[in-house]
Amino acid sequence: MSDYGVVKDLNYYLSLHYPILFIPSDEGGFVVSIPLLKGCLSQGDDLQEAYRMIEEAKALWLEVALESGIAIPEPEPYPA
C-alpha cells in the first residue's frame, strides 16, 4: 500500500491509534506512556486523568518530532 497523497502532518499522526500503557503507581494514580514514542509519558490520579494527560503529551511529542525532523514511528494497523 502506498502513502502517495497522504500528508503526514500533526493531524495525521494524532489520528493514529497508538497503544497506551497504564501502570499503577505505588504512590497512587497511574503512570502512562506510549511505548512507540520513546519518552512520551505522563501521569494522572485516575485512569481518565492519565488518559487526558497522555493525549496532551502525545500531541506535544509529535509537534516537537515534526519540527525537529525526528522520524515518527506508526502503530501497526488493527487486524480486520
In a domain? residue 16: yes
In a domain? residue 60: yes
In a domain? residue 49: yes
Whether 55 and 63 have beta carbons less than 8 Å apart is answered as no
Confidence (pTM)? 0.86
The pLDDT-based confidence of 5 (bands split at 50, 70, 90) is low
In a domain? residue 74: no
pLDDT tens track for 45-65? 999 999 999 999 999 999 999
In a domain? residue 4: no
Element (H, E) at 70: none
Query: What is the rounded end-to-end Cα distance, in angstroms, of the chain?
Result: 16
CA distance 59 to 14: 7
In a domain? residue 64: yes
Q: How many domains does the chain have?
A: 1
Domain encompassing residue 35: 10-68
The CATH number that applies at residue 47 is: 3.30.160.250
